[in-house]
């Protein structure tokens, strides 16, 4: 895949992540849309392959963070908030135990 195609694919995947993560939060959707577009426009003249690779890595990392770490909250009352958990946030994890495990 060409470099330009990879960058456009990353651009689209960031916008898809934005739409999923901030669904129904119109202010956040617009702020994040503007930020994504601003970052891509700011770096569109970059020619250094090392810097382009670094920027692609940053973009990919941002997508992962958006999908796996951002939680939407909705105010219910002045002192209550409901969290909206997406499927991407729910991971099978091992329960924490501060006791050392015994080896047989």
How would residue 68 be classed by pLDDT, with cut points 50, 70 and 90?
confident
| Residue 96 maps to a domain | no
| Residue 92 maps to a domain | no
Contact between residue 72 and residue 84 where contact means Cβ atoms under 8 Å apart? yes
Q: Which domain holds residue 73?
A: 3-86
How many domains does the chain contain in total? 1
Contacts by 42-48, CB closer than 8 A, 24 or more apart: none
> Is residue 3 predicted with pLDDT exceeding 90?
no
- pLDDT score recorded for residue 56: 94
Task: Report helix, strand or coil for 91.
Answer: coil
pLDDT tens for each residue of 16-50: 999 999 998 999 999 999 999 999 999 999 888 89
| Residue 60 maps to a domain | yes
| Residue 94 maps to a domain | no
Residues forming beta bridges with residue 81, ordered by sequence position? 75
Alpha-carbon Rg for the chain, nearest whole angstrom, is 19
| Residue 93 maps to a domain | no
> Is residue 1 predicted with pLDDT exceeding 70?
no
């Amino acid at each position: 895949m060409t470099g330009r195609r990879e960058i456009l694919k990353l651009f689209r995947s960031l916008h898809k992540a934005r739409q999923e993560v901030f669904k129904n939060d119109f202010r956040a959707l617009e702020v994040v849309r503007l930020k994504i577009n601003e970052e891509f426009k700011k770096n569109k003249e970059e020619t250094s392959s090392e810097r382009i690779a670094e920027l692609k890595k940053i973009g990919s990392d941002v997508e992962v963070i958006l999908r796996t770490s951002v939680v939407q909250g909705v105010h219910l009352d002045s002192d209550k908030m409901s969290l909206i958990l997406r499927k991407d946030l729910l991971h099978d994890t091992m329960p924490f135990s501060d006791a050392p495990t015994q080896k047989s």
